[in-house]
């Protein structure tokens, strides 16, 4: 696999009182994407932010906004997040009745589409969707909260998805989110991940440490 490793810090672990400054800080520290976790208190047991906050953050970085929607139903909010400045919109197949239609809608809005697999979600949902995806996100924790421990069984899932991606011959990013740190990042990369979401591991120690934290996640 020749794709460079991309680091997408999750602002879920940032200082919410200083979100604009935090986004600028991780941008300057060398992140590739800004990962934005959107939770509704219904699909997952937590409430975070909406499209208004995404719009407010957009002027603070030109890096791609990687927006992970943990909301249901998801379709009615796609246009709002696209208009707010999302570049990549990822959703869970359980969050709507017609995942293929959701992918079509995201593409029609001019955005990249990602599908998110929870730890217990079967790979069967990829059978008739993978060719239309720009990104597959493997949750290596159960979604809803930051700071959880990496679930090792997801390494097998990452390996299996990498094989499926290679079989398509398409440039589909394979992202992993949950419990990523300097210990688990190399395992996820070895299994086939090319994009890592890291909240706690990126924001640990304050802004003076962000660049070193990001380098450490890349293995550098």
Can you give the pTM of this predicted structure? 0.96
Check the annotation: does 32 bind a ligand: no
Percentage of the chain with pLDDT > 70? Answer: 98
Check the annotation: does 179 bind a ligand: yes
CA atoms of 94 and 106, how far apart (whole Å):
16
Check the annotation: does 199 bind a ligand: yes
Residue 210 lies in a domain: yes
> According to the model, what pLDDT value does residue 69 have?
98
pLDDT tens digits for 116-162? 999 999 999 999 999 999 999 999 999 877 778 999 999 999 999 99
Distance from the first to the final alpha carbon of the chain: 18
Check the annotation: does 147 bind a ligand: yes
The structure tokens listed for 124 are 């069967």
- Identified catalytic residue from 32, 66, 134, 177: 177
CA atoms of 141 and 170, how far apart (whole Å):
27
Residue 30 lies in a domain: yes
Mean pLDDT of 6-12: 97
Q: In this structure, what CATH number is given to the domain that contains residue 24?
A: 3.20.20.70
Residue 70 lies in a domain: yes
Catalytic residue at 177?
A: yes
Q: How confident is the model at residue 1 (pLDDT cuts 50, 70, 90)?
A: very low
Is the pLDDT at 168 greater than 50? The verdict is: yes
Catalytic residue at 152?
A: no
Going by C-beta distance under 8 Å and a sequence separation of 6 or more, which residues neighbour residue 206? none
- Identified catalytic residue from 32, 37, 40, 134: 37
Check the annotation: does 200 bind a ligand: yes
Which residues, listed in sequence order, are joined to residue 143 by a DSSP beta bridge?
none
Question: Nearest 5°: phi and psi at 2?
Answer: -105, -5
Assess contact for 194 and 1: CB atoms under 8 A. Answer: yes
Check the annotation: does 146 bind a ligand: yes
pLDDT tens digits for 89-117? 999 999 999 999 999 999 999 999 999 99
Residue 33 lies in a domain: yes
Residue 112 lies in a domain: yes
The structure tokens listed for 33 are 């994407």
Residue 1 lies in a domain: no
The structure tokens listed for 164 are 């499926």
**H-type helices in the chain, by residue range?**
19-28, 51-57, 78-84, 99-108, 154-168, 184-191, 200-203, 210-218
Assess contact for 165 and 158: CB atoms under 8 A. Answer: no
Is the pLDDT at 2 greater than 60? The verdict is: no
Mean pLDDT of 68-85: 98
CA proximity to 147, closest of 9, 7, 12, 8: 12
Is the pLDDT at 220 greater than 70? The verdict is: no
Number of domains in the chain: 1
- Cα 204 versus chain centre, distance: 19
Q: Give residue 137's domain range.
A: 6-218
The structure tokens listed for 86 are 């999302």
Residue 117 lies in a domain: yes
């Amino acid at each position: 696999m020749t794709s460079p490793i991309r680091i997408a810090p999750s602002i879920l672990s940032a200082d919410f009182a200083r979100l604009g400054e935090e986004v600028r800080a991780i941008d300057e520290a060398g992140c590739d994407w800004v990962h934005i976790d959107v939770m509704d208190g219904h699909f997952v047991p937590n409430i975070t932010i909406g499209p208004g906050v995404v719009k407010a953050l957009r002027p603070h970085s030109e890096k791609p906004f990687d927006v992970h929607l943990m909301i249901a139903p998801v379709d009615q909010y796609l246009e709002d997040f696209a208009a707010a400045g999302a570049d990549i919109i990822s959703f869970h197949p359980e969050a709507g009745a017609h995942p293929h239609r959701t992918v079509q809608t995201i593409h029609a809005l001019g955005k990249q589409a990602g599908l998110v697999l929870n730890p217990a979600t079967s790979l069967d949902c990829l059978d008739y969707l993978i060719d239309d995806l720009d990104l597959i996100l493997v949750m290596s924790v159960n979604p809803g909260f930051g700071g959880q421990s990496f679930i090792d069984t997801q390494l097998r899932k990452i390996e299996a998805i990498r094989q499926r991606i290679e079989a398509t011959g398409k440039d589909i990013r394979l992202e992993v989110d949950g419990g990523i740190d300097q210990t688990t990042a190399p395992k996820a990369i070895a299994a086939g991940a090319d994009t890592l979401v890291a909240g706690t591991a990126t924001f640990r120690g304050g802004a003076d440490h962000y660049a070193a934290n990001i380098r450490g996640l890349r293995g550098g």
